[in-house]
A and B are shown apart, each in its own frame.
Chain A
Amino acid sequence: MSAAEANGGRMERLFWGAGSAVVVIYALLPVAWIVSLSLKRSADLGDNRFLPDVVSLEHYATVFRDPQFSAALLNSVGIAAISTLAAVLLGAFTAYAIVRLEFPGRRLILAGALAIAMFPPISIVGPLFNTWRTLGLYDTWAGLVLPYMTFTLPLAIWTLAAFFREIPWDLDKAARVDGATALQAFLHVIAPLAAPGVFSAAILVFMFAWNDFLFAASLTSTDHARTVPAAIAFFTGSSRFEQPTGSVAAASVVVTVPVIIVVLLFQRRIVAGLTAGAVKG
């Protein structure tokens, strides 16, 4: 390699390295900002500075003393977990049928699921609101689980189908020939192969339910089923004169930290899930 070429390579590395640094700072800036805001004393909230002068945990104390916030946290975790379980289970049945079985209507189901993925949730909020009031589902966990499960089913079906296509299903037959029972073959051969894809789909579904605000704002009204995004959004609106900026910031940090941990632990699975349906197809 000539000196000029080595130099060019170093310049290129430097260029992409600097680019990486900019991307990382841009992505993390609002998170750093809200963390810093949550650690300011109430008196310092209006000091227009990025970092706190004195670190204080007073807003965290306020947030955890607030029964509304702990109720919202419990609702969010519960509702998102149940929706995820339901969507992944039903999605896995459907994806298995689509990948492994020949039947008329395969394409129709995939196309229908795709249509629902593009569907605007606002369009069904009114009817759901009206129906849920009549059926007693308004402001209940089930009232949110149903739309979350449905709106994530397309994601679950497409992602799982993309992963299931890659599984060498014939290994199952080989295990059976070697004397394994159907259940053993499934548990020891197929399940471990399918698990990563199922897990990817589950994370994406959970994130959708955890993030939703429109359904939560429209179909809940009290601590009974109000989730974190709605609690945080309406928290601010409660007082016209004194903005609870510090509490909102602290609550935001509390619900963001788990997301960051999940992202750091499972980034490969998340990226695989995100791109499986869209690129491999």
Chain B
Amino acid sequence: MSRRAAAEHRLAWLLCAPAVIAMLVVTAWPMLYAVWLSLFRYDLRFPDQRQFVGLDNYLSVLGSGTWWQALFNTLLITVGSVSVELVLGFVFALVMHRALVGRRLVRASLLVPYGIITVVAAMSWRFAFDPTTGFVNALLGLHGAWLAERWSAFFVIIQTEIWKTTPFMALLLLAGLTLVPEDLLRAARVDGANALQRFFRVTLPLMRPVIMVALLFRTLDAFRIFDTVFVQTRGAQGTDSVSIVGYNTLITRLNLGLGSAVSVLIFVCVLAIAAVYIKGFGIDLSRREDS
């Protein structure tokens, strides 16, 4: 290796060091610490009783109905919101792609849900569906308390998520749409393909990589859902997500041992989801950096 190359390596590592150290210290190390804590009985209200218990915490979490219900809820919210977002995101992206007038207006208004604080969005929808303050019941001629029943509460939570995050999906898909060559679409049109055929046979296959990346990020993001559930139900009516269970165990009940076991299990779930996308659907994330 030449001295010049060695100097370049040194400079590169010097430049990267602060960011790499920060990422290791504030994420990798706490994650390992969480694994360690999860092996102890450790309740901050009774710190003297701290004791190594092996995998007992995992057994009690996995043996409890709370965890499995929360996991089911989280998957329901994830699948429910991400699938609708994909369809709706495509519709919005096509509107922005094709609309000649008001394109900037549409894009600017879509950035509002993206930019708004999630807690605020969740509040607004909560008030809208509230039987006392809301307008939704009056509009639909209903009388129910949406957030007081499990399935209607899920409806409100999922639709809040959809409202908040479809813009992200739509903007990514719009960027993907602009990569589809117009010539190809024109050629398909000349060959007699109608609008639907052009979309499903030309646009969609070309956009597959963009769609998969958008889906991966949104799925992992939706799986972490916390803010909306916290604001709208606090996990009542059997609507808690895994993050809510983690928060309640760690911060509300100060049970660091049990809570860390929940944290580690959530991390494992996220790894599993990422693995399914990357192996199962063949997303090659590493290739993109060199293209």
Contact of A125 among B19, B133, B220, B251 (CB under 8 A): B251
Residues of A within 8 A of B220 (CB): 118, 120
Q: How distant is A174 from chain B, measured CB to nearest CB, in Å?
A: 21
Say if the beta carbon of B45 comes within 8 Å of chain A. no
Say if the beta carbon of B163 comes within 8 Å of chain A. yes
Residues of A within 8 A of B179 (CB): 279
A74 to B37, CA, bound (A): 35
Beyond A48-B135, A279-B172, whether A16 also contacts B19 by CB under 8 A is: no
Contact of B99 among A20, A45, A147 (CB under 8 A): A20
Q: Is the CB of B227 within 8 A of A214?
A: yes
Contact of B288 among A131, A249, A281 (CB under 8 A): A281
Q: How distant is B168 from chain A, measured CB to nearest CB, in Å?
A: 7
Residues of B within 8 A of A131 (CB): 30, 33
Q: Is the CB of B31 within 8 A of A93?
A: no
Q: Is the CB of A93 within 8 A of B15?
A: yes
Q: Which of B60-68, B79-87, B120-128, B186-194 lies at the interface? A: B120-128
Q: Which of A54-62, A176-184, A188-196, A259-267 lies at the interface? A: A259-267
Q: Is the CB of A114 within 8 A of B285?
A: yes
Q: Mark B101-131, 1 if CB is under 8 A from A, else 0.
A: 1111111111111111111110111011000
Contact of A271 among B15, B37, B111, B133 (CB under 8 A): B111
B interface, size bucket: 35 or more
Say if the beta carbon of B270 comes within 8 Å of chain A. yes
Contact of A279 among B114, B176, B246 (CB under 8 A): B176
What count of chain A residues pass the 8 Å CB interface test? 99
Residues of B within 8 A of A260 (CB): 112, 115
Contact of A129 among B9, B213, B230, B251 (CB under 8 A): B251
Beyond A118-B220, A270-B111, whether A20 also contacts B102 by CB under 8 A is: yes
Say if the beta carbon of B16 comes within 8 Å of chain A. yes
Beyond A93-B18, A150-B26, whether A104 also contacts B9 by CB under 8 A is: yes
Binding site for A on B (CB under 8 A): 5, 8-9, 11-13, 15-16, 18-20, 22-23, 25-27, 30-31, 33-34, 37, 44, 91-92, 94-96, 98-121, 123-125, 127-128, 132-135, 137-139, 163, 167-168, 171-172, 174-176, 179, 210, 213-214, 217, 220, 223-224, 226-227, 230-231, 242-243, 246-247, 250-251, 256, 259-260, 263-264, 266-267, 270, 274, 285-286, 288-289, 291
Known contacts A21-B102, A120-B243; 13 further A-B pairs (Cβ under 8 A): A24-B102, A24-B109, A33-B135, A90-B19, A91-B19, A94-B16, A94-B19, A110-B289, A161-B289, A229-B120, A259-B117, A274-B114, A275-B171
Binding site for B on A (CB under 8 A): 12-13, 16-17, 19-21, 23-24, 26-28, 30-31, 33-34, 37, 45-46, 48-50, 90-91, 93-94, 96-98, 101-107, 109-114, 116-131, 146-147, 149-151, 153-154, 157, 161, 207, 210-211, 213-214, 217-218, 228-230, 232-233, 236, 245, 248-249, 252, 255-256, 259-260, 262-264, 267, 270-271, 274-275, 278-279, 281
